[in-house]
Copies of this chain bind each other. A is one copy, B any other.
């Protein structure tokens, strides 16, 4: 099909959070992610692609797909990438209610702001078999293009849910599910016997875990620097800290 001016305007509006919320849709870009998306359960609304991509990927397409053949110039207008890559998929957002997983590990992100960090955390959760990430309402939008692109497809497998910390952790406390977080005054994570289930809380890039959320954490851990008695202003990026914590939980299990 040919892309109308209106349709183009609709799709470029998805670059902004406002547009994504109004339309309850988002974009997925590039050959690799498009292929993975089309082979997943993701609810694809429409596909915009260069003619060469469409010709080469007929096997991924089906008669229900609304497909637009676009020019390089239209692609550049719609794309969020500095180097647009042949195809943009518009998909429907998933907005459903999730329950707190009672078995296994899940994450809670408290006001993570950087889209790259958010995407990287979703990607590593996938690697470590963590199927759910709950987030405070002020955490960056999952459907931000940079988040989606930096998950490298993990957003297709990991559930992400925005919810207030109080109600979420209340459920955990009622069922005696541990709520864990890293703090400067926590216990050395390598010397602790870690539980096989619970919630791991990660905090904001510059402020760490907020006081409100910290009050709901009942197990304080620490990633020790090396040497362990070193003092200084050094810190770890939040995605890096999440990876080390998840790796240690999985190593012990």
Contacts and interface: CB of A to CB of B under 8 A. Distances in A.
A120 to B, nearest CB: 5
A223 B224 CA distance: 20
A234 B243 CA distance: 15
A152 to B, nearest CB: 7
Interface stretch (A57-65, A134-142, A245-253): A245-253
Contacts of A153: 233
A129 B237 contact: no
Contacts of A225: 127-129
A123 B240 CA distance: 10
A154 interface: yes
A126 B244 contact: no
Contacts of A250: 224, 226
B154 A234 contact: yes
A128 B237 contact: no
Contact of A129 (B126, B230, B235): B230
B123 A236 contact: yes
A31 interface: no
A155 to B, nearest CB: 12
A36 interface: yes
A98 interface: no
A120 B237 contact: yes
A227 B244 CA distance: 17
Nearest to A121: B240
Residue among A126, A154, A243 with most chain B CB within 10 A: A243
Top 7 A-B residue pairs of the complex, sorted by shortest distance between their CB atoms:
A129-B226, A226-B250, A240-B243, A244-B247, A190-B251, A128-B226, A243-B243
